[in-house]
Amino acid sequence: MNTLRAKLAVLLTVVIISVVSVLTGVLVYLFDPPDERQAIAPLAEQIELLEKVMRVAPTLVDIQQKPAGGEVEPSLTGWLRDTLKSRGMPRDVVVSRKDDKPVLSIPVDRGWIITPIPDLPPQGGVFNLLLIWLAVIALGALAVALFFANRMVKPLALLEKAIESVGPDALLPELVITGPAEVRVAAKALNSLSRRLKVAMEGRMRLVAAAGHDLRTPITRMRLRAEFVEDEEDRAMWLKDIDELDRIADSAILLVREESGKSSPESLRLDNLISELVDELRTLSYDVTLMRSDETVVRANRTGLSRAFRNLLVNAATHGNRARVSVQSVLSEAVVVIEDDGPGIPPDMIGQVFEPFFRANRARTKHFDGAGLGLTIANEIVQRAEGTIKIENGPWRGLVQTVKLPAEQR
In this predicted model, what pLDDT tens digit does every residue of 40-63 receive, in sequence order?
Answer: 777 777 777 777 777 777 666 777
Residue 364's pLDDT is 42
- DSSP assigned state of 69: -
- Is residue 334 predicted with pLDDT exceeding 50? yes
Q: Which amino acid is at 194?
A: S
- Is residue 168 predicted with pLDDT exceeding 60? no
**What SS3 class is residue 107?**
strand
| Of the candidate ranges 9-23, 24-38, 177-191, the one whose mean pLDDT is the lowest | 24-38
Dmax (CA) for the chain in angstroms is 149
The pTM of this model reads: 0.49
Q: How far is residue 311's CA from residue 292's CA, in Å, rounded to a whole number?
A: 19
- Is residue 100 predicted with pLDDT exceeding 90? no
Residue 167's pLDDT is 61
More confident residue, 279 or 224: 279
- Is residue 330 predicted with pLDDT exceeding 70? yes
pLDDT band at 408 (very low <50, low <70, confident <90, very high): confident
For 155, counting Cβ atoms within 10 Å of its Cβ (0-12 exposed, 13-18 middle, 19+ buried), the class is: buried
What Å distances lie between residue 264 and 297, 303, 335, 387, CA to CA? 16, 11, 22, 16
- Is residue 236 predicted with pLDDT exceeding 80? yes
Q: What's the average model confidence in pLDDT over 317-345?
A: 90
- Is residue 360 predicted with pLDDT exceeding 70? no
For the chain, what is the mean pLDDT?
78
Residue 367's pLDDT is 47
- Is residue 96 predicted with pLDDT exceeding 60? yes
- Is residue 326 predicted with pLDDT exceeding 80? yes
- Is residue 233 predicted with pLDDT exceeding 70? yes
| Of the candidate ranges 88-97, 152-161, 374-383, the one whose mean pLDDT is the lowest | 152-161
More confident residue, 94 or 170: 94
- Is residue 363 predicted with pLDDT exceeding 50? no
Q: What's the average model confidence in pLDDT over 380-387?
A: 84
More confident residue, 309 or 221: 309
CB atoms under 10 Å from CB of 243, counted, come to 13
- Is residue 214 predicted with pLDDT exceeding 80? no
- Is residue 345 predicted with pLDDT exceeding 80? yes
For the chain, the residue count is: 410
Q: What's the average model confidence in pLDDT over 105-126?
A: 71
Q: How far is residue 97's CA from residue 67's CA, in Å, rounded to a whole number?
A: 12
